Structure 1
Amino acid sequence: MAKKASSKEPATFSLLTDFDIHLFKSGKHYRLYEKLGSHVITAGGKKGVYFAVWAPNAKAVSVIGNFNSWNNAEHKLNPRWDESGIWEAFFPGLGKGEIYKYAIHSNTGDYLEKADPFAMYAEVAPKTASIVWETNYKWKDANWLKERKNSIGKPKPYSVYEIHFGSWRRKVEEGNRSLTYLEMASELVDYIKETGFTHVEFLPVMEHPFFGSWGYQVTGYFAPSSRYGSPEEFMQLVDALHEAEIGVILDWVPSHFPGDDHGLYRFDGTHLYEHADPRKGFHPDWKSYIFNYGRKEVKSFLISNAVYWIDKYHIDGLRVDAVASMLYLDYSRKAGEWEPNQYGGRENLESIEFLKELNEVVYGDFPDAITIAEESTAWPGVSRPTYLGGLGFGQKWMMGWMHDTLHFFQEDSINRKYHMNEITFSIMYAFTENFMLPLSHDEVVHGKGPIIGRMTGDEWRRFANLRLLYTYMYTHPGTKLLFMGCEFAQTSEWKHDLSLDWHLLQYDLHKGILNLFKDLNALYKAEPALYQFGFEARGFEWIDYSDRENSVMVYLRKAEAKEDQLLVVCNFTPEVRQHYRIGVGIRGYWKEIFNSDNVRYGGSGLLNQGQIATSPVKYHGRDYSISLSLPPLGISVFKLEKEVGEFELGS
């Protein structure tokens, strides 16, 4: 701890200029973390800490902590003269590591002790104070950032491994504790390199008091959770991932926050950050509070927070949680529990403008980063630029694909011929947005069970169906996201306070699913047809979606180069189909490059070996065709190995 402050009286000093105040009050200050909060600085030849906090309805504010025995009569802040509502002071003698809160006497008569909304570090829960901090981390990811910048606008494979930090792996022998940032910098990095995912996505790592919220009830928006280590140690984890050429996405929650006494709720005794009208300011599903997106200062706070993680922590992207709840005034509300907008509609106009500005700022400052919307409705243009009327996100979760696909796989194979529209329908709208295909944490909680539990049949069929599902996901247009544990067929529902069931990897079927993912990620990276036009109709072509009786569908994935196109054949039944004819438009030799029934994955090993020559038999409206063996509950992927002329074949 820093030594006791030499003076309880604030020195005259401010980090805020008149222009800062203008930007803040107009909702346009996007680097507010450089001004508000606590900052270790030298002023007047003395080293100390400058504090600044927004509390416009306070009549007195002071800093309390161990350094003054939590006495609110000392270390008082001064209100600024410009009616910004900001209180500030510089105290020489204080330094990094001081534990503190703001003591706020409100005009409402309340006395509140609040954590710093801009604190970069916090005490380990259940303690709730902020910690004065400064980071001097020396980054080593210059090559990663350079490549990220150089790849702007270029198509690339994007497979995301979604992780809840506290339950990926736990040290059972040490009281079932979670891994630290530094332990993850070794173990997680090695695992992602082994499995081949291109990115990791962390469920919210921002400070949250209740571990059971999975991080979605945030109180410290600018602080990585101290449960796992210091801010520098989290930076080291990001750095290690980048050095291993693995991108990092953070789950970000601008939709709501909890009502904990030390948090943002009624911060200065009034509804400062949240909307005062409970029809707009209280979330009935999560019993939490909704930001007032129409308040300029709140907008500066939130957009600054998004920028902060990309700027200071080199984060590659933000997955924005619960966007649908932000777009609609009647979201999860009954009649009479919401108020229409000025035009009589249900759209939340203030939130819409906030989301647009958020994306404009992020992409304006960091065009090589990405924002991803979790949006579960048919709102148009979520991932379209704002200048075209969209919300401006880079990608959107394809929730319809997820629901339809999981429902289809829950059907017994004998009935699937009656449900083929569920598995083909997604292509009807697949290119209306930049879609990411998610099998996320939401699909393995609240009694839904694990993904393998949704598969039908005996053990062999369930694992075959799972291999089929995952291979279909990787050959379908769009980027990919998978929640931890699904990559080795976790058999129990996810529990946030337990480790994943890593012991399952001693069994061949589970090991086979992990091998499948290693090879799927390798295939995805190696074949341009799987990602080059992942958001465009020209990257996909149906060959046949009408064979409902056999529950078979066939399609092409296409790239710029004709020779890179892939033929994908899906058999959604356990029946082996020999001599199954498929029309192709190119005369030559095809080779099977992937088969989900491979024994390496736990399958029966029904493969199409060697070169498969086309025949001059017209089929599926094409001039040539090939005859294949379709594995049970399997997907085969073929690539044109050699295109030949009219007289070359068989000569």
Structure 2
Amino acid sequence: MTAKKLSVKATPKHIGIVASDPYLEPYEAAIRGRHEHALWKIGQLTRNGRQTLSDFANGYKYFGLHKVPRGGWVFREWAPTATDIYLVGDFNNWTEDEKYRCKRIEGTGNWELKLPAKAMKHGQLYKMHVKWDGGEGERIPAWCQRVVQDEVTKIFSAQVWAPKTPYQWKKKNFKANTNPLLIYECHVGMGQDAEKVGTYTEFKDNVLPRVAKDGYNCIQVMAIQEHPYYGSFGYHVSSFFAPSSRFGTPEELKALIDAAHQMGISVVMDIVHSHAVKNEVEGLGNLAGDPNQYFYPGDRHEHPAWDSLCFDYGKDDVIHFLLSNCKYWLEEFHFDGFRFDGVTSMLYYSHGLGEAFTNYGDYFNGHEDDNAICYLTLANKLIHEVNPKAITIAEEVSGMPGLAAKFEDGGYGFNYRMAMNIPDYWIKTIKERRDEDWKPSSIFWEVKNRRADEQTISYCESHDQALVGDKTIIFRLIDADMYWHFKQGDENDMVHRGIALHKMIRLVTLGTINGGYLNFMGNEFGHPEWIDFPREGNGWSYKYARRQWNLVDNPELDYHFLGDFDRKMIEVVKGEKNFIKTPVQEIWHNDGDQVLAFMRGDLVFVFNFSPTRSFTDYGFLVPEGDYKVVLNSDAKEFGGNGFADDTMVHHTNFDPVYEKDHKGWLKLYIPARSAVVLKKDK
């Protein structure tokens, strides 16, 4: 009798993110399950490859109001619970008219209306009058691409938008520079000195040239999607396909993006798909009698902390709406990508509220929203299908593994995740530690604390830290003395301390990035005011919803020292080839001396955080050669004391012990509270 060979099934190779992090092995089944869920959903939406995700995301071309090429108009809306829909507007005196009555497309939840060319014209206002069992109301179409607010009544309406001449792009093929990605986070409305709402055109003409001069290669623009309340900072969205009209026209937004591209600046949109405003007349809260048309039912309907509504990512129609929204902004406005807001809130049933996330088990214990995880994965797949070079960034605080890892490796496909631990660390350090207790080992660990297989966007502070109720770094360091002692020659010790540490905090954060760096508009020069949008509590004032560029432009004030240092700091980093791919190599740290040194490529970064002790001939072991100073935070041109001679070429001292390693001792004078960057002379 011949023995049969036993078939031994080979153990499957670990999926990518598990292979690179063995601590994830106990959760590999969950990781694979999420990956396979996304693959299944992609197959379903693409009809198993008979179309692409990009084809599926063409909803904005079908729904909404469109001018027909051969003349006339077509309007479509998804409203499965509606019993009747009329278009009412300037064209019919806002009354129900049979000519403007939509018809339900048989067998669907979609409604359609076809009209002759003369039925409406560019610029007219309109809404839907929707009827449903037990009620009716005026609504702004969910897919409309233009919404305006009446200055007197404050009422929002959709607007017919079909200019005779479409915008003609000047820069048609733009490639983003992401080595490194240097982001200037900004808000168009508060981008002006004047106490008012700024415009797309004013931002293009006045702010973009500053961004280019400062060396940033990307702007992250907030508050683009239409939102009823200006003070929401754009995070309570009502019309997802409409660029906010309070800043100008769609063509003016396109001109802004076009101008940025001509300057070599990428434009990333701060997109909000984590929730929606509760408004019913302006928003999606109750479009056609069903409050759950777009949103989760029951306890998951409302966000407990944000007073908003939570999308139901398990519905194909909702996925269609959101994916189409991503493609719309990429294709129609040439945005280069997105920073996804509130990703933590999407990932968990709890929205991450009250959870500590102290170990890997906290990411795989059954309280994750698999539908939302699937949507985010699909969004990244779609975005990079439309534009392979697109930039996607996740604003996520829990530390979910794989968020910025490749889809093929079991990740969610974001290019970057925000390093949200870093600003928290700086706030905690400034608030709770005496200057004498700042530890370079702790600083270095914190700015480098990230997953090896995921790129991050490092930052010291964003708009979050600039809002009323919080404080910017410069205010934490100097406080009210900024108002009285920020003129050259009139600085006190508090101001000198603040200026010195502001520069050092930024340099050590930028110098250790592994993907990108972000700064919020004005913080680079220590903008003195918090952000407080017009509201009843401040008399609807715009005083604190603006940026005072006049301060950094005034050579008699100290603000320009910080702005000049920021510009030079970025220039130095950009001057090092393949900076992101260059490893961060620690040279030295001594917590007693409060000294830190590390190297990237040919650049040597040295920090002395001590508030009182300067060091002469402090030695560091580095590759032998000559080193020139390329940046010194203590230079007089940056508001420092100018104690060191930066014109000197520093030669390494020979040491026979390290001769085989071709290393020598670099001896430096490093004043208290200062940082210096040197470059090896080739």
Q: Quick check: TM above 0.5?
A: yes
1:448 aligns with 2:474: no
Match of 2:642 in 1: 605
CA distances 1:445-499 after superposition (whole Å, capped 9, x unpaired): 1422222022266110011000111111221123111111211111221223332
1:248–1:315 CA contact under 8 A, matched in 2: yes
Give the SS at the match of 1:396: strand
> Which 10-residue stretch deviates more, 459-468 or 87-96?
87-96
2:650 counterpart of 1:630: no
- Output the CA distance in 2 between the equivalents of 1:170 and 1:568: 36
Shift of 1:511: 0.8
Shift of 1:190: 1.7
* Secondary structure at the counterpart of residue 643 of structure 2: coil
Q: CA shift at 1:261, angstroms? A: 2.2
- Equivalent in 489, 493, 496 of residue 460 of structure 1: 496
The amino acid that maps onto 1:394 is: N
Secondary structure at the aligned position of 2:507 is classed as helix
Distance 1:429 1:40 in 2: 49
Structure-1 residue corresponding to 2:180:
157
Contact 2:73-2:115 at 8 Å conserved across structures: yes
Q: 1:426 to 1:451 in 2, by over 3 A?
A: closer
The farther-off stretch of 85-94 and 506-515 is 506-515
Q: 1:256 to 1:310 in 2, by over 3 A?
A: same
- C-alpha root-mean-square deviation of aligned residues, in Å? 2.6
Which residue of structure 1 lines up, in the alignment, with residue 615 of structure 2? Answer: 577
**160-169 vs 606-615, greater mean Cα deviation:** 606-615
What SS is found at the alignment partner of 1:473? Answer: helix
Residues 245-285 of structure 1 deviation map (CA, whole Å, 9 limit, x = unaligned) = 11111100000111112211121111344434243221111
Query: Secondary structure of the equivalent of 1:460?
Result: helix
Q: Which residue of 2 aligns with 1:100?
A: 126
Residue identity matched to 1:552: V
Q: Secondary structure at 2:448's aligned position in 1?
A: helix
Question: Does the aligned pair in 2 maintain the 1:49–1:95 contact within 8 Å?
Answer: no
- Secondary structure at the aligned position of 2:128 is classed as strand
Residue 89 (structure 1) aligns with: 113
Q: 1:380 to 1:200 in 2, by over 3 A?
A: same
- 1:434 Cα deviation from its structure 2 partner: 0.6
2:399 & 2:197 partners in 1: Cα distance?
38
Give 1:623 shift. Answer: 4.0
Distance apart, 1:80 and its partner CA: 0.5
Aligned to 2:654: 616
Check whether the contact 1:27–1:300 (CA below 8 A) recurs between aligned residues: no
Instruction: Give the CA deviation at 1:90.
Output: 0.7
Q: What is the alpha-carbon distance in structure 1 between the residues aligned to residue 511 and residue 352 of structure 2?
A: 35
C-alpha deviation, 1:196, in angstroms: 1.6
Partner of 1:640: 680
Distance 2:293 2:474 in 1: 42
Other-structure match for 1:475: 511
Q: How does 1:196-595 map to 2 (within 5 A)?
A: 196-262=215-281, 263-331=283-351, 345-410=366-431, 411-417=433-439, 420-429=441-450, 431-438=452-459, 439-455=461-477, 458-478=494-514, 479-496=516-533, 497=542, 498-505=545-552, 506=554, 507-528=556-577, 530-533=579-582, 539-545=583-589, 547-558=590-601, 565-574=602-611, 575-584=613-622, 586-595=623-632
Moved more, 547-556 or 123-132: 123-132
**Per-residue CA distance 1:297-354 (angstroms, 9 max, x = gap):** 010100110111111101111100010000011125579xxxxx9x971101000000
Compute the displacement of 1:622 (Å): 8.1
Structure 2: how far apart are the matches of 1:623 and 1:182? 54
In structure 2, the residue matched to 1:14 is none
The equivalent of 1:71 in structure 2 is 95
- Per-residue CA shift, 1:397-416, capped at 9, x if unaligned? 00112212332344322122
Structure 1 residues 162 and 602: alpha-carbon distance in aligned structure 2, compared to 1, 3 A threshold? same
How far apart are 1:29 and its partner, in Å?
A: 2.3
Supply the distance in 1 between the matched residues of 2:648 and 2:640 (Cα, whole angstroms): 19
Indicate which of 59, 74, 78 corresponds to 1:32.
59
Match for residue 48 of structure 1 among 63, 67, 72: 72
Q: Which moved more, 1:112-121 or 1:427-436?
A: 427-436
Q: CA deviation at 1:201?
A: 1.1
Q: Secondary structure at the match of 1:629?
A: strand
CA pair 236-21 structure 1, distance change in 2 beyond 3 A: farther
Q: Is the 8 A contact 2:421 2:446 kept in 1?
A: no
- Contact 1:119 1:132 (C-alpha < 8 Å) held by counterparts: no
Encode CA deviations 1:518-540: one digit per residue, 9 max, x unaligned.
Answer: 1122112211253344xxxxx11
For residues 189 and 630 of structure 2, the distance between their equivalents in structure 1, rounded to whole angstroms, comes to 38
Instruction: Give 1:9's aligned residue.
Output: none
Distance 1:444 1:53 in 2: 40
- Cα contact 1:408–1:422 (8 A) shared by 2: no
Q: Please report how far the alpha carbon of residue 395 of structure 1 lies from its aligned counterpart in structure 2 after TM superposition.
A: 0.6
Q: SS at the partner of 2:666?
A: strand
Identity %: 27
Deviation at 1:91, TM superposition (A): 1.1
SS of match in other structure, 1:129: strand
Deviates more, 1:343-352 or 1:496-505: 496-505
User: Hey, what's the Cα distance between the residues in 2 that align with 1:532 and 1:316?
Assistant: 22
Deviates more, 1:375-384 or 1:157-166: 157-166
Residue deviations 1:585-644 (CA, integer Å, cap 9, x gap): x221111111111111111113343211111235899842111011321211111114xx
Q: 1:350 to 1:557 in 2, by over 3 A?
A: same
Q: Deviations over 1:179-228 (max 9, x none)?
A: 22122221122211222211111112111110010111111111111112
Deviation at 1:423, TM superposition (A): 4.0
* C-alpha distance in structure 1 between counterparts of 2:215 and 2:457, whole Å: 18
- In structure 2, C-alpha distance between the alignment counterparts of 1:464 and 1:294, rounded to whole Å: 51
Q: Residue in 2 aligned with 1:137?
A: 167
Q: Secondary structure at the match of 2:465?
A: helix
Partner of 2:681, secondary structure, is strand
**Structure 1 counterpart of 2:403, one-letter code:** V
Q: 1:273 and 1:619, CA in 2 relative to 1: closer, same or farther beyond 3 A?
A: farther
CA distance in 1, matches of 2:576, 2:309: 46
Asked if the contact 2:618/2:670 (under 8 Å) is kept, the reply is yes
Give the TM-score taking structure 1 as reference length: 0.85
Distance 1:359 1:21, change over 3 A: closer
> Cα gap change, 1:169/1:299 in structure 2, threshold over 3 Å: closer, same or farther?
same
Q: Which runs of 5+ in 2 are unaligned?
A: 1-44, 356-361, 479-492, 534-541
In the alignment, is the contact (CA less than 8 A) between 1:440 and 1:483 conserved in 2?
Answer: yes
- Is the contact made by 2:148 and 2:245 (CA closer than 8 Å) also made in structure 1? yes
Which one-letter code corresponds to 1:141 in the other structure? K
Cα distance between partner residues in 2 of 1:21 and 1:224: 32
Cα pair 2:192 2:202 within 8 Å, conserved: no
Deviation by residue 1:397-444 (Cα, 9 ceiling, x = unmatched): 001122123323443221224x74244234243534210013210011
For residues 602 and 279 of structure 1, the distance between their equivalents in structure 2, rounded to whole angstroms, comes to 55
Report the AA paired with residue 233 of structure 1. E
Normalising by structure 2, report the TM-score.
0.82
What code does the residue aligned with 2:467 have? Answer: V
Task: Give 1:131 deviation, angstroms.
Answer: 0.8
